Structure 1
Amino acid sequence: MEAKKLFWLNTGVLLVMVVMRCQGYYNVGQFDFVSDYVAFYDVRLITLLDSGMDDDGRRNSWSKKLHSQLVRQHHIYISLCPQRTPNGTGNTGFSLGNEGLIVGRLQTHSDLVLFSNVFSTADSHLSWLLLADQGFPDLLKEIYLPLNNKVTIAASDTAGTIISLWEAYQLAKDHTFKTFRIGEWKAKGHAAQGVLPSKEKLVAAVGSQFKKRAMREQVSRHGMLRAPVDDPLLHRDDLTGLHLRCVTGQFPPMSVITDRPDGTVTNSGIIGSLFHEMATRLNFTYTCHRSRDGEWGALVDGQWTGVIRDLVDNVADVCGSTLDVTQERAQVVTYLLPLLTDGYRLFMRRPTTSDDKWNAYVKQFSIGTWLLVVTAYFAVVLVLYWTSNRSPDQCSLSFTDSATVILTFFAGQGTSFPLMSASCRITALMGLMLHVLLLAYYTSDLVSSLTAGPPDPKLSTIQDVYNSPSFELGFVRGTSLQYFFKESTDITLREIWQSIEGKKDVVLTRSIEEGIERVMKDSYIFLEWRLPVLFNYGHDCRLLMLPTSYFDVQTSLTVRKDSPLIPVFNKVILEILSSGLLEKWQRDWSVEAGDCARTRVEPVGMKAVLGPFFLMALAVALSGCLLAGERLRRRGGKIERF
């Protein structure tokens, strides 16, 4: 008898619910759940997403009833997002805030269309709560929920006394849904009635599984809610074999690529190791290619080049090497967490003795010192000439003979002219003393410069390079340096860019290798990021790095703009950085730099002695000319010898 009464009681309740639904009333338990959900997460701003109509064309009023209940129980701001614009054109005119919670339904096809239209244009960081029933897995098949969505689905039983919370996402549009049951709400004083969407049913529909989350339980006004309190995006770390398209370039030791016969490349190096570790932890695969034009990415005549262009054109999903972070690039792509920070340095060829073939034997003294030496020489010549012609004890010397005698003293030689007077001998001692001074200072500097090489140039800054007409400045084309120069607040840097832009086909290179090759051959100074140059050429003491650093920038992996993979990638990058693996890979790919600070002893080449031998040849030629002139004069008298 009692069982029969209970049967009729449940039947009556169900009939009342059906009638209420037909009249435009809805599951009151869902409204109570929303009230407790708002209190649980302390939501202050709510947007109600209401289509205004059921599938059968009847006007509904669920949002008004929910609005009325929330206003009575909470101090919150509530707005309504309508389906139509005020002009009645039928076009969607949605106005969503940048924060808070958006509450909508996912029970009918009209609900699905409205949610799909709004969700596809809304910011990905917005939080959603969709009120659904046990049929929501079938509706999910018609929409795309990316990996980074923050949608919570509240699936209610028939009576609205037990509601299960779910999350769902797709790795890509052609992938099936992955769903996770994350929580549950139970109404106060009610036993579970009806049937929940069971785990088995969802497995058959979309492949569900449970996930471990940081949970909290709270008893509120209408029931008990158990729900997660962490970021849902941090737990979507299994990409289940998702295949990504990677674009990269040769940039050792960051990315060391090797071409394959099928047109793809292998990616190793510091960032290559990082990317491989990310693929292992997140369970995705990838294929890497070079950028279509071989550049990294610069804005030229309004069009992007290189890696950036491949990402913008959806040719690639992620860049497998680091890119400099610039404001211009950040408008079209998204940077992940920064990995390394370093600056650009100026590189030039270290001077050698071969560079001083014309001035190797005169650069020991400054111009002022050489003028002083010449002045002292002629002063001693005049004194010797005057004393030899005034002294009664000395045979007279001509001015030419006096000059020859003092010149032989400067060269460390003696003379056959008899110097009989004391005044002439003292003058000769003055010439010999000057010889000692020249020998001490000039010879020591000459020997050291010929053996140890010339000193490093006095260039230090890019301003020095710009002011030196003998050098040409350049860098790799299609890199962030074009942006740094062009947008710099430094007038000098902008002037340098203007001079480079006029001859960029001449001074800009296609690669670091080409730039260093030009440094070794020409009077060319190359501006490049410090780390790759030191990795490839740090052992080569012919290369000199100037001390001033420019454009200290952060570098990072790059993905397509607003990619759903961003939070997942950032999470695993943070884990790798915290583990010290990046430092390990840097050590693995580091090379020992050459000890270029020690004294460099090198043999004297032909170019270094070309100048003196050329002067000797001129002297021989001059001597022959003078001999010819003397014979032509045919002087009759004998030359008196002393």
Structure 2
Amino acid sequence: MLRMRGAVAVSFLFLGCYFVVCAEFPVAVTASLIADVRAHLYSGCVYILHSYFGYDKELAAVWSAAAGLLNIGVLHVQHLIYEGYDSCPSPLYVVLNRDLLILSEVSAAGKFSGARWLVFLHSVSELSLLDVPFDCEFLAAQWDGEVARLNDVYRISPRVSLQVRYFGDWSLSSRRNWPSVGLYRRRTSLDGHVIRTVILEDETYVSLDRMDNEVVLGGYIGHIWSELETEMNFKSNFCKSIDGGTGSEKNGTWDGMVGMLVRDEAEVGASSFLMTVKRMEVVDYTYSIDEAGTNVYIKRPKEYSLSWNVPMAPFSFWLWFCVMVAMGLLSLILPLACNIQRHHGNRNERAFGFRDSWLCTLGIFCQQGHNETPRSCAGRVVYLTSHMCAIVLLAGYAGNYISYLSAGRPLVMPFTSLSEMLDDGSYRLGVIAKSAQLNFFDKATDSLFKEVYEKLILPDIHNLPSDYVDAFKRVCESKYAFMSSANVMRRFTANLSCSVIALPRATIPGVIAMTTAKKFPYLGLINH
């Protein structure tokens, strides 16, 4: 048997984390129930948690019986609390009844969140003081000598009494008959719980309205949040961003709504948050809501690039070469056909020389008339062929030329990328103050982004636009470039005093989502 100092563990593939506590269960029953729970929850890693150092006869007996049914290891609770255990992403933990104090230690260390438990005990009332988070699957088992009754135990919040829901029965003879649905199909209601929600009105995704003396959210994300309130049965206590920003980091301190989530002044940010690696370190995101690639917009130039070779631009060199060859061949065939007709007795046919034939063919291709027409059938066929070629050429040229002038006129862009913008040096680059776009540059490791920040943003850092109206007004009135998503830009297009255009080679892809504080217990239900 094993002597436990620290942890002995076995790694397996699994999704989910479970804990089991045993109370006066026969060893064979305990081992069989552990095996069935592992199979039902598709757990691959199983560990018996303990709090003793040295040899333990009872622990050894349970481990020995369970080891005959599944792969299992043992782990000291202090190792779990202070060091964690990452060899298996979501293990199943087993705790025996004499170690119930382990539950209080794990709860105080915040290790319950995101886990699932199975507890063997005499009465569920033994857990009345235990804080079992909403996102922790905690199954409590009571043994009556023949049947184990399993209850699903959790709290909606620490201030709410323990919720106990029947999960199913188990026995050695009948084995399991448990729900096949997942955790968030069983826990669907927050029973009117109030969630502290911070918002920022951006006129695109979120707006704040009043209806029947109640505050309701409008906009795309606002409607999503209202649906969540109805489906999950909770209420929102709304507050606005303390400084009008979504959140950026400076010297390790976060401002805006992200800062409020970090400081526990709010639990959810029900607004559009651009996903960034830095933000993911301090907050959690819901599933993505929309694509929001960031573009750089400038005032649309009025100058077009029209060179002197525009009339020749629709056709390529080889096409013009083929036209000239066709004209030469037709100029040779026409006198040849007419002279053959004259030689075979058609004296009425005019005698065409090469010069006359060339002038006639050139006149046809230039859409000009001629005073004489061949009288023979062969000569007229050559004439008809020349006219058909000229008509097709004219139609194709006219269509291409008109298309080139109307849609193909290239704008004279001052620059097309951030590097060219740096070289130009006459524009300033703006972003919304306290936004994720600001951290694109001030926290950048890329040399180009660093230089853009130092030369184009930093000189005007204390005068960044506070909203999109101010930002696009600057774009229209001065040499100012502004970073924004296409969705936001389209929202303001109708009210702008000028036309704006995105730089074709300065796009940063991204997605937006709502955010929550770290270890927010209802994030899984929101995503579900």
Task: Please report the TM-score for the alignment, with normalisation by the length of structure 1.
Answer: 0.56
**In structure 2, which of residues 224, 227, 232 is the aligned counterpart of residue 274 of structure 1?**
224
> Does the 8 A contact of 2:428 with 2:456 survive in 1?
no
**In structure 1, which of residues 464, 474, 477 is the aligned counterpart of residue 430 of structure 2?**
474
> Does the 8 A contact of 1:265 with 1:289 survive in 2?
no
1:527 to 2:512 alignment = no
Offset at residue 527 of structure 1 (A): 1.5
Rounded to whole Å, the distance in 2 between the matches of 1:337 and 1:275 is 13
Correspondence for 1:231: 182
The letter of the residue matching 1:100 is P
Offset at residue 364 of structure 1 (A): 10
1:45 to 2:45 alignment = yes
Correspondence for 2:170: 185
1:74 to 2:69 alignment = yes
* RMSD, aligned CA: 3.3
Offset at residue 31 of structure 1 (A): 4.3
Structure 1 residues 344, 265: CA separation in 2 closer, same or farther (over 3 Å shift)? farther
Structure 1 residues 225, 364: CA separation in 2 closer, same or farther (over 3 Å shift)? closer
Rounded to whole Å, the distance in 1 between the matches of 2:493 and 2:62 is 69
Q: Which has the larger radius of gyration?
A: 1
C-alpha distance after superposition, 1:289-309 (max 9, x if no partner): 211111111111221010100
1:127 to 2:112 alignment = no
Rounded to whole Å, the distance in 1 between the matches of 2:282 and 2:307 is 58
Matches within 5 A, 1:38-437: 38=38, 43-51=43-51, 61-71=57-67, 73-81=68-76, 96=85, 98-105=89-96, 111-119=99-107, 120-122=109-111, 124-133=113-122, 135-136=123-124, 138-157=125-144, 159=145, 161-188=146-173, 223-257=174-208, 266-351=216-301
C-alpha distance after superposition, 1:165-184 (max 9, x if no partner): 11111111111222211121
Structure 1 residues 51, 506: CA separation in 2 closer, same or farther (over 3 Å shift)? closer
Correspondence for 1:462: 418
The letter of the residue matching 1:145 is V
1:555 to 2:512 alignment = yes
Question: Structure 2: which 5+ runs fail to align?
Answer: 1-22, 309-404
Q: Per chain length, whose mean CA-contact separation is higher, i.e. which structure has more relative contact order (CA < 8 Å, sep 6+)? A: 2
Offset at residue 557 of structure 1 (A): 0.8
The letter of the residue matching 2:423 is N
Offset at residue 234 of structure 1 (A): 3.7
C-alpha distance after superposition, 1:347-393 (max 9, x if no partner): 2234569xxxxxxxxx9999xxxxxxxxxxxxxxxxxxxxxxxxxxx
Offset at residue 61 of structure 1 (A): 4.6
The letter of the residue matching 1:130 is V
Partner SS state of residue 142, structure 2: strand
Partner SS state of residue 550, structure 1: coil
The letter of the residue matching 1:514 is D
Offset at residue 477 of structure 1 (A): 1.6
Rounded to whole Å, the distance in 1 between the matches of 2:255 and 2:83 is 35
The letter of the residue matching 1:122 is K
> Does the 8 A contact of 1:170 with 1:176 survive in 2?
yes
> Does the 8 A contact of 1:100 with 1:127 survive in 2?
no
> Does the 8 A contact of 2:430 with 2:457 survive in 1?
no
Question: Structure 1: which 5+ runs fail to align?
Answer: 1-23, 54-58, 86-90, 189-222, 354-362, 367-447, 449-453, 572-642
Offset at residue 115 of structure 1 (A): 1.1
Rounded to whole Å, the distance in 1 between the matches of 2:481 and 2:239 is 31
Correspondence for 1:428: none
Rounded to whole Å, the distance in 2 between the matches of 1:341 and 1:92 is 39
> Does the 8 A contact of 1:256 with 1:272 survive in 2?
yes
Aligned residues: 398
Offset at residue 487 of structure 1 (A): 4.8
C-alpha distance after superposition, 1:513-544 (max 9, x if no partner): 11112122222121212211211224647121
Offset at residue 268 of structure 1 (A): 1.2
> Does the 8 A contact of 1:347 with 1:543 survive in 2?
no
> Does the 8 A contact of 1:484 with 1:551 survive in 2?
no
Rounded to whole Å, the distance in 2 between the matches of 1:31 and 1:274 is 46
